[in-house]
């Protein structure tokens, strides 16, 4: 671990902004600091990271990674602050892609992304590196779409659609379905237990046994 520089070595940096490279993020005092090496002065020091909120047990944690270029400001020779990170030609925000205005995103080094897109119909997108996605959009009358391994749940202004690759399971002590009309299209529908209905209309009934009741034609 590099020794802390003497205050006089940083006297010329006070009141200026300096570029630095992050060299360590394991703060021995657990104060949310990172170790940086000043490009111009060739000295290393520990500096806290400026965030939008920081308190006892809460706040926004977003430390720069080792190797990132950061901008340093100095309150005094003994109090440098990491103001933020900078993209460079060697580390562009979107390799091989042109920047898009009205698109704001947070993306982790592993590839998990939270994106706000105001171009066209405003939408919010959450996506994992494996391609699992959640999209919330103002398109049409509104749209919510969840995609996981080929399974999708889509909610728009007039309908809810669930599509599964293999199986949909619904389990509860009681399930209530209320609809003006219920359609089931299946090669075979199988029920266990007792099936009770007020009126049964059928082209054919096939059963090993049948007991007629009141109103049945024998």
Which tens digit of pLDDT belongs to each residue from 19-55?
Answer: 999 999 999 999 989 999 998 887 899 999 999 999 9
pLDDT of res. 206: 82
Contact 80, 47 (CB under 8 A): yes
pLDDT-derived band at 96 (thresholds 50, 70, 90) equals: low
Residue 214 maps to a domain:
no
One domain for residues 23 and 80: yes
pLDDT of res. 79: 85
Which tens digit of pLDDT belongs to each residue from 174-192?
Answer: 999 999 999 999 999 898 9
Instruction: Tokens 């995103």: give the residue.
Output: 105
Domain span at residue 20 reads 7-86
One domain for residues 113 and 50: no
- Structural domains of the chain, count: 2
Domain boundary (163, 182, 201) is at 163
Domain boundary (116, 134, 163) is at 163
pTM: 0.72
Contact 71, 86 (CB under 8 A): yes
Domain boundary (53, 86, 119) is at 86
């Amino acid at each position: 671990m590099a020794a802390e520089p003497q205050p006089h070595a940083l006297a010329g940096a006070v009141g200026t902004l300096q570029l630095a490279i992050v060299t360590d993020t394991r703060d021995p005092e657990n104060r949310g600091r990172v170790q940086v090496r000043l490009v111009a002065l060739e000295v290393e020091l520990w500096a806290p990271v400026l965030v939008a909120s920081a308190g006892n047990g809460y706040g926004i944690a977003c430390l720069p990674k080792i190797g990132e270029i950061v901008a340093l400001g100095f309150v005094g020779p003994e109090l440098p602050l990491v103001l933020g990170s900078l993209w460079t030609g060697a580390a562009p925000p979107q390799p091989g892609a042109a920047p898009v205005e009205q698109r704001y995103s947070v993306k982790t080094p592993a590839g998990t992304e939270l994106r706000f897109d105001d171009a066209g119909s405003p939408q919010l997108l959450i996506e994992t590196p494996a391609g699992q996605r959640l999209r919330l959009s103002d398109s049409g009358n509104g749209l919510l779409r969840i995609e996981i391994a080929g399974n999708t749940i889509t909610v728009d202004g007039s309908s809810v659609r669930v599509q599964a690759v293999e199986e949909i399971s619904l389990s509860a002590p009681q399930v209530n379905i209320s609809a003006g009309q219920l359609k089931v299209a299946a090669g075979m529908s199988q029920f266990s237990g007792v099936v009770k209905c007020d009126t049964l209309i059928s082209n054919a009934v096939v059963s090993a046994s049948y007991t007629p009741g009141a109103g049945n034609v024998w």
